[in-house]
Structure formats: structure tokens, C-alpha cells
Amino acid sequence: MATYPTQYAHPEALVETDWLEKHLKDDGIRIVESNEDVLLYDTGHIPGAVHIDWRADLQDPLIRDYISPEKFAELCSRNGISPDTTCIFYGDKANWWACYALWAFRLFGHEKVKILNGGRDKWKAEGRPMTREVPKYAETNYPVPKKRFDKEIRAFFDEALAQSKSGKPLVDVRSPGEYRGEITHMPEYPQEGVLRGGHVPGAKSMPWKTATNDDATFKPASELAKIYFDQCGVGPERDTIVYCRIGERSSHTWFVLTYLLGLNNVRNYDGSWTEWGNKVGAPIEKSA
């Protein structure tokens, strides 16, 4: 009979709302809000939080890729972030985009990263302080990262294809309708130009939000292990690739597998279905 972990592998990667309210002005931390709705920050945010726009701040405007190491250093510097700063990410939609921003920071090697458990929704539901005041921090001189960790935590098309052909774990974290090929976009979202629906052959379907409770907090470690170890076939002995539409939902699952379940062999395929569903010659499945 399988035994499951009784606690998170890295409990320090989560911050609770009660703790954060007591430590809003601590030195050495920077609260970072990152939302799907990029206008939400202006309606009110956690005092002291800076805003990182997942598209304008993290995406290269000319090519389908992330910003350069130089641009990342500039982003951190103007937000008062140094390599020693602990960045606490939070946002809307059960921290979906906050995990995306955290993953992008890890891509550039920033090590001190945490997620506010429950995110923006839980903070507001508990009646904790919000403000519209935009903080100003002294600019730092963040050193340009020597590399992006593309090989370590990121997967590309050819690697995802090889993963599929070898039968190694692939986790599709989109909605069931997207996985089955019934729709080519998220439910209640506009069509975004993908030519074919379906999933990567051999991928297991496990919608990203399966990992969270109704209050947007993460489920206990034992439940997460049952979901991913038992149903998706992931584990410490087998490399895993996760994907969604552009890598945002799968960043959430990457965080769960990496920080909460302790796996060090998980990569995020950020090209995801936007690339796969449009690529000439890419095989697809539409089975349930």
C-alpha cells in the first residue's frame, strides 16, 4: 500500500495570510502581485505590494519568449528587489498567475520565492487591509543573471515530443474539454487562434485547479500525492513535463510538484497547446 507524505516538502515556500499581515513592513521581503486581470492591482492591493504584469513585464514584445537576463535585472532593480530579497507572490484565480511569475523568477535563478497561500481572494475574503497607494522603493542594482535556467525547469517542443514518444509522464492541466479536443480555448474565454484541439499523445488530464481547495489554498500534501503520484504517474524516478495553453496554468502545477511534493525533475512546457496545436506535423490525440 502506498504511503503518502504528511507534510509539504518545502513548507517554507508558502506564506499564510495571518503571517503576512504581521510582517508587511519587514526588511528583506517584497510582496509581488501578478494577476490574470492586469488592471486589478489598481483597484486595490496588499499594502507595499508591487505589480508585475505577466505580459508587459515578463514577455519579450517581439519574439515568443521571455525577457532577456538584462531586462529581468532592470525589472527587479526598479522594484527594489535584490538577489537577497524574498519575493512573496500572490494574485487572483487561486494564484494561477502568481505561480507563473514565480516560475519566471526561478527561470532567471532568483532563489528566494514564496507564494501567499490563498492569494488575493483569501486575503480579501478575510477583510485584510488593501490600498490603492503605489509604493516607491529605492532602486537596486540587480546583477544581470548569467543564464536562464531553460534546461532545468523549461521544456521545448522537441523535448515534449520525445517525452510523449518515450511514454514518460506528461500532465495536461487544461480543462477536460480542451483535453478532449471539444474546445480549443478555456471555457468562457475567447478563441485564441489554435487550429486543432486535443492533447499531446500519452498526456494525462489533471486540471490545474484540482490542487486547490475552495478558498484557493493548496490541498494537503497527502491529497496532492494521491492526485499526481497515483493518477498522473509522476514521481522522483521519472522526469515529468507539464503543459497547458501558454505555460501559465502549468506553472501552478509545476509549483505544486516542485515545492509542495518535492520533485526536482519537473519542467514546464510553456509553448504548450498554442504551439503544439498549430505546429505542422505535431501528433495529437482526442480520446478522453
Give catalytic status of residue 99 as yes or no.
no
With beta carbons less than 8 A apart as the criterion, state whether 284 and 200 touch: yes
C-alpha cell at 31: 510582496
Q: Which stretch of DSSP H or E encloses residue 231?
A: helix 231-232
Sheet holding 14-15, edge to edge: 14-15, 113-116, 86-90, 29-33, 50-51
Q: Which of 174, 153, 145, 155 is nearest to 249 (CA)?
A: 174
List Cα–Cα distances, 27 to 16, 23, 84, 137, 143, in angstroms: 18, 9, 11, 12, 20
The residue annotated as part of the active site, out of 76, 87, 232, 244, is: 244
| Packing angle of the helix pair 92-107, 248-255 (nearest 10 deg) | 80
What residues are labeled active site? 244
